[in-house]
Chains A and B, each alone.
Chain A
């Protein structure tokens, strides 16, 4: 088992996109640079505390929506639009977490020296299921592999505890799976969600 937590499928966050996520109770801004690098940062601009997930990606930088402060790949502030001649001090820096794309998913928080296995997969979709992670894992069955993935039909399922009562089910398929089969898997995932949420409330 590794400490990597899945936060998205590899295709679930487009290049140039930013989204919010939660890992171990911590709120993060996950963003995907124009060049394809993924990043996981504390979701808080050091300037005024604005959520950086409301911000926007410019090339290899993430900018805050509020006052446009820009931050580079290492989290350090690179530009303050209201003070164009100022070189921002190194102390203005967003805390970052390890974040990589591997095996069809985006992962956060593990040891970069031990990334998840590079198995070619194509992201299918991510579903928020309103049951705790242990409940969903029990319903899925199967034996987790070294990265914590379990089979879902021909797809691989990666589970993320969004909070104590919601789990995100991230799914990815073998690359050459047909569109028909991928839609059938999407619907099977919907059915699983209905079943496990009904079981939870019964």
Chain B
């Protein structure tokens, strides 16, 4: 079983836990005290990942860093359908890779605003929120055009790792003081992802009560 070095409040770590859950792949999850312990910068963790970033996945053969890379590894090795990373369709593959890059822009804007508001990271919060608005508008436009074309997901008629890579920091925007009211297409897409069989939650992203049994 692969070992995930994880921080419960990290959207990037959640991407890995979410895809693993959707693929029904068990992970050995090891909690890293990112805040307030700063354990990701301690010698023991830097010996594992000199960059000091989370998540880290130890597969038994290698040590993988960067959430998008880990999503790619999980899809390539653990998804017999090939749907989460469609390598045999070049145009779809290119779209997926484009969204993996876009996901880092969400992390750098929405994710930073969230670290400011939740963990008191010192940064220019106005700049982070202004950047977040531009990135979320681009996501909204893309999803609105997908809806117009009758599609619910970013890169294919079904969910791919593109959706998993972009989902957490879009859904967590309110944690950074960024309301999602202006983004109705993002709202529908968040609902579609939360509706997936095997979906799991994280703090700030809850389950769909409407599909649960009435208490």
Contact = CB atoms under 8 A, between A and B. Distances in A.
Interface of A: 8, 12-14, 16-17, 19-21, 56-58, 63, 65, 68, 81, 124-128, 162, 179, 182-183, 186, 190
B117 interface: no
A89 B172 CA distance: 37
Contacts of B144: 125, 186
B200 interface: no
B184 A125 contact: yes
Contact of A12 (B145, B184, B191, B215): B184
B210 A8 contact: no
A63 B209 contact: yes
Given A68-B215, A183-B149, A186-B148, A128 B191 contact: no
Contacts of A21: 181
Interface in B160-215: 181-182, 184-185, 187-188, 191, 206, 208-210, 214-215
B30 interface: no
Given A58-B214, A128-B181, A17 B191 contact: yes
B208 A56 contact: yes
Interface residues of B, number: 20
Contacts of B208: 56
B97 to A, nearest CB: 22
11 contacts: A12-B184, A14-B188, A56-B210, A65-B206, A125-B148, A125-B184, A125-B185, A126-B184, A179-B148, A183-B148, A183-B149
Contacts, number: 49
Contact of B184 (A19, A68, A162, A182): A19
B193 to A, nearest CB: 14
B78 interface: no
A32 B184 CA distance: 14
A68 B181 CA distance: 23
A186 B188 contact: no
B104 to A, nearest CB: 23
Contacts of B141: 186, 190
A183 B185 CA distance: 14
- Most chain B CB within 10 A, of A20, A81, A127, is at A127
B54 to A, nearest CB: 29
B210 A57 contact: yes
Contacts of B145: 183, 186
A8 B188 CA distance: 13
A125 B185 CA distance: 8
Contacts of B206: 65
Given A127-B182, A128-B182, 4 more contacts: A125-B147, A179-B148, A179-B149, A190-B141
A58 B147 CA distance: 24
Nearest to B184: A12
- Most chain A CB within 10 A, of B150, B184, B188, B214, is at B184
Interface string B70-105: 000000000000000000000000000000000000
